[in-house]
A and B are shown apart, each in its own frame.
Chain A
Amino acid sequence: MSEQPTGFDDLAQFKQTFFEECGELLGDLEIMLMDLQGNPENATTDDLNAIFRAVHSIKGGAGAFGFTQLVTFAHTFETLLDGMREGNVPVTLGCVEELIRATDILCDLVNAAKENANLPDNHGAEITAALVALTASGAGAGAFKNNLDANEDPKIEASDEDEITVFDVWFKPAAHLFSNGSDPIMIFNELQTLGQVEITPDVSGLPALHSLESEESFLAWALKVTTNRGQVSVEEAFEFVEDDCGLVINAATSPDFPLQIRDIAVAAPVNSVVTPPPATPLPSATAPGPQTPAAKSPSAPTATSIRVDLDRVDQLVNMVGELVITQSMLNQLTNVEEGGVQTSNPDMVKGLEQLNMHTRELQESVMAIRMQPVKSVFSRMPRLVRELAAKLSKKVTLVTSGEETEVDKTVIEQLADPLMHMIRNSLDHGIEGPAERREAGKPELATVNLSAEHRSGRILIEVSDDGLGINRERVFEKATEKGLVPTDIKLSDNEIDNLIFLPGFSTAETVSDVSGRGVGMDVVRRNINNLGGRITVNSTPGRGSRFTMSLPLTLAVLEGMVVAVGVEKFVLPLTSIIETIRPNAEHVHTLVGQGEVLSVRGDYVPVVYLSRVFAIPDAAEKAAGGLVVLVDLANGRRIGIVVDELLGQQQVVIKSLEPNSPHISGISAATILGNGMVALILDIDGLQSLPQHDMSRKKMTGENGGRGQTRASQTETGKVEQCQSVGIEKEVRRIMEDQANLGVSIPSQYGQKPEQAAAE
């Protein structure tokens, strides 16, 4: 704990936790209310209870920190929910919609509290009024309870409200109960508000004084609660300690009464009410302390989990990364080819193999810690679709699949905005109004599909719709209007579709207030690329469009192919590699103004020489007879990268160059090889737009320390997409400055604007 006196610091820490929990609770609330909204007639008491508890928790925490505005509103909210779950207020669609709106206000208040902002006192006043009205309109004592009961599992006996029942409660807290801040006395106090309570402690579990742990619980209690508030109220008193105790609640008429407390195992199922006690005595109640209780009944599906600081997880991931590097260093030491020593010791070899295996498993487990289901992102979408469809007067339904697919946490956070943007686009531009759809013979209800799945080591997320598809004429028109492409250029359908990803293309003529950020598809693509992913688009006019995002499973580790270019080593992401070719001279062609291309099974693929792009001397000069690695780019195209050698495939730990080093175009990150040297990881999408140095004038002299003097000359005219990157401008300018210093003259092409250069 902190060395400072308790008080402000600790409070801040608890506040942090409270806000995190609020975030989760609000998220859960939204999901539950969404479900309810879809199906209000089938609401069960359980559903309403869960919703009530969420609001109740928020209220409780808010009270502890003194967020009065939040408490007041939560209280009104909670009162209505109470009325609903008691059956006083009917669960109607209108009611549920008010609840959803109330959740929004709750969200606002929580955020205001978090940021210490002040919301006007009457914020959400109409919602409050609506909630109060609904509560007041309740028909009174359980009038609608029958509806709830009818939907209920027959498991739980609904007790009649007015009748006084005596409940026998056996309560045995787990040893660690107090460490959660729970105190049985508080529970008993709450029980006393329900009615009369008789409490009998059982001290049989107390150990001898010398083995007594002062912070653990050894007591158990038998209580007799006489109340008219029903079993649910009694259960509720124990709600916060459900996981940490053995608890059996029975109506006193049940024959289970004489069961000995001692025999209740801490791991007893908590929600059971009617379960008959086992015939044989249960195992002794001195079960080892913090044992997690057995799986609860299906109405509480959450697995036990602990909250961990993300920094700690990151540190763990880092350490495992270092372990992988060290382990590959060890491997190298015994790898004869790499200059290691041949070991004749079979035990050592076996040991190393086992180490390999264990390290790989450890790595997978650690990576899995950061994985979360995409559900948390997907769950915000249905609401977006509903609201937007209503606003645009279109009929749209969202179909999601694969919500349980897991993705790294950082990826999830970055996914939300792009997804929302794409869905908004879909509804705005893609999907037609109902009349138009009818005329086209399509069903009035349009469908937007959102799916996620694992495929070949990556996550594939698709957003597709059955609307009009991309209006290619309009897109081309807009692109030429904005000067992004010359008017006379001929583009294939796919190329036109990809124009929407150009920076500067985004319209933002009407900024929708749903997200209001006015981001364009270029930002979406950039965000996805930054995550190491790719986004492609497929569109059929009149039938619909499909955006496919492919993202890596983890951000920390990469399956790579190490290649050699001259004396330097680089790493290519393995998943991008299609194949490696050793082309014959007849397959290599030179295209005027474009550099070299390779003909591969009828297609022409541009060739990139790493030696030229990165000014590496003494590297392969010709593609013909050399090694060309064919890779897939983010925009669906392919290029061939000329390398000297393929050094082997290995898992590499991704180390960022930033913030220490500047960003380099064509390099996405770095890694540390088994020999301790740094190798650069290629950003293949950035490679094509780099200028190629003319290596024919290079000299490698001692003075220059191994970095040859080069004279830059552009051998490739910028293709449309390339010229858009500011990166290339910077490179060109920098080279110009360098050369100006050396007194070398530059071709005039450099001084032109990109569009002019492209047009030539």
Chain B
Amino acid sequence: MDQQISAQQKNSVNGPSAQVADPTAGYDGERPIHSGETAQYISFTIGNEEYGVDIMAVREIKGWTNTTPLPNTPDYMVGVLNLRGVIVPVFDLRCRFNEGRTKATDKHVFIIVAVGDRTIGILVDAVSDILTVSANEILAVPSADRAIDDVFLTGLVTVKNRMVALLELEHLFDPQSVPEVDGSDVEALN
């Protein structure tokens, strides 16, 4: 069930007129500044919730395989897998959002994405769709109690009465930050 999104497919879909969202643009911690541009997202489900990631960041979709756990890592880090010779860490998105661990079966799926110079995998329940969204359809995330939403989502879109939350990948699984703790704590160490 390995499915690589070919470069051609990406290019042809974006077309000459639309400006594609630069995958790094949104990941500087700022909101992407599109105006009237369209971008594409791959949407997937975690339980009843639907999320989307920038299609330009997605490298492939991999069926579930066994992973090797990395000791002494946060719970949401499932482990590492062998992607054609490259060691890729895999993260449980459900767990990252504090909704418990995913009971992975062979129906689950890894979305392999490129974030900066890292390649990582995200464990999701299922992939739903490819969405074409124009910038003015993206709504800001309403400020909520849960601190996670603010940092890890870049916006919301409504697609056929479904709400899709668009993920910001860079800080989601940043190896530098201690989970749920502000980075300045790390500085205080010896």
Residues of A within 8 A of B79 (CB): 678
A residues near B119, Cβ cutoff 8 Å: 660
Tell me the minimal C-beta distance from A689 to chain B in angstroms: 12
For residue B71, which residues in chain A have a CB less than 8 angstroms away from its CB? 613-616, 664, 666-667, 680
**Roughly how many angstroms separate A568 CA and B120 CA in the complex, as a whole number?**
22
Of the candidate stretches A78-86, A99-107, A697-705, the one touching chain B is: A697-705
- Interface mask (A638-659 → B, CB under 8 Å = 1, otherwise 0): 0000000000000000011101
Minimum CB–CB distance for A610 against chain B, Å:
9
Give the Cβ gap from A688 to chain B, nearest Cβ, in Å.
14
- Judge if B66 is at the interface, Cβ distance under 8 Å: yes
CA distance in complex: A731, B80 (Å) = 20
Stretch at the interface among B11-19, B157-165, B177-185: B177-185
Shortest CB distance A705–B (Å): 5
CB contacts (< 8 Å) of A322 on chain B: these are 85
Complex formed: what's the CA distance from A730 to B186 in Å? 7
Stretch of B22-30, B86-94, B135-143 contacting A (4+ beta carbons < 8 Å): B86-94
B104 at the interface (CB under 8 A from A): yes
Residues of chain B in range 79-108 having any CB-CB distance to chain A below 8 Å: 79-82, 85-89, 100-104
Q: Mark A717-734, 1 if CB is under 8 A from B, else 0.
A: 000000010100111011
Among A661, A666, A677, A731, which residue has its beta carbon within 8 angstroms of that of B82? A677
Docked complex Cα distance between A672 and B81 (Å)? 9
Q: Give the CA-CA distance A564 to B184 in the complex, in Å.
A: 38
A703's closest neighbor in chain B, by CB?
B101
Tell whether B3 is near chain A: CB-to-CB under 8 Å. Answer: no
**Is B1 engaged at the interface, CB distance under 8 Å to the other chain?**
no
- In angstroms, Cα B80 to Cα A664, docked, is 12
- Tell me if A678 and B81 are in contact (CB < 8 A): yes
Q: Is the CB of B175 within 8 A of A661?
A: yes
State whether A661 and B80 are in contact (beta carbons under 8 Å apart), knowing that A614-B71, A733-B185, A737-B181 are contacts in the complex. Answer: yes
Docked-complex contact B103 and A705, CB < 8 angstroms:
yes
B69 within 8 A of A: yes
A734, B179: Cα distance in complex, Å: 8
In the bound assembly, the distance between CA atoms of A662 and B84 in angstroms comes to 20
Contacting residues, chain A, for B82 (C-beta < 8 A) = 672, 676-678
Tell me the chain A residues, 666-699 only, with Cβ under 8 Å from chain B: 666-667, 670, 672, 676-680, 690
Which of chain A's residues has its CB closest to B92's CB? A705
A614, A655, A704: the one contacting B87 at CB < 8 Å is: A655
Minimal beta-carbon separation of B105 from chain A (angstroms) = 11
Please tell me if A4 contacts chain B, counting CB pairs below 8 Å: no
> Is residue B68 contacting chain A, with contact meaning CB distance below 8 A?
yes
Q: Is the CB of B70 within 8 A of A660?
A: no
Whether A660 contacts B104 by the Cβ 8 Å rule is: no
Most buried by A among B78, B80, B82, B181: B82
Q: Does A707 contact B (CB under 8 A)?
A: yes
Contact B85 A655 (CB under 8 A): yes
Which A residues are CB-close (under 8 A) to B87? Answer: 655-657, 660-661, 670, 672, 678
Q: Are A660 and B118 in contact (CB under 8 A)?
A: yes
Cα A726 to Cα B75 in complex, Å, equals 22
B70 partner residues in chain A, CB cutoff 8 A: 657, 661, 664, 667, 680
B9 CB within 8 Å of chain A: no
Q: What's the least CB distance linking A567 to chain B, in Å? A: 10
> Does B6 lie at the interface of the complex (its beta carbon under 8 Å from any beta carbon of A)?
no
Chain A residue at minimum C-beta to C-beta distance from B78: A705
Q: How far is the CA of A565 from the CA of B163 in the complex (A)?
A: 45
Q: Give A662's nearest chain B residue, CB to CB.
A: B175
A702 nearest in chain B by CB position? B103
With both beta carbons as reference points, the residue of chain A lying nearest to B186 in the complex is identified as: A730
A325 — nearest CB in chain B belongs to which residue? B85
Answer whether A677 and B68 are a contact pair too, CB < 8 Å, given A726-B190, A733-B189.
yes
25 contacts between A and B (CB under 8 A): A613-B71, A616-B71, A655-B86, A656-B87, A660-B86, A660-B87, A660-B120, A661-B70, A661-B89, A664-B71, A664-B72, A665-B72, A670-B68, A670-B80, A677-B68, A678-B68, A678-B87, A680-B70, A680-B71, A704-B101, A705-B101, A724-B190, A726-B190, A733-B185, A734-B179
Q: Which 3 residue pairs across A and B have the least CB separation, nearest first?
A: A614-B71, A662-B175, A661-B89
Additional 9 contacts, C-beta under 8 A, given A318-B85, A614-B71: A655-B87, A664-B73, A666-B72, A678-B80, A703-B101, A706-B69, A726-B190, A730-B178, A738-B74
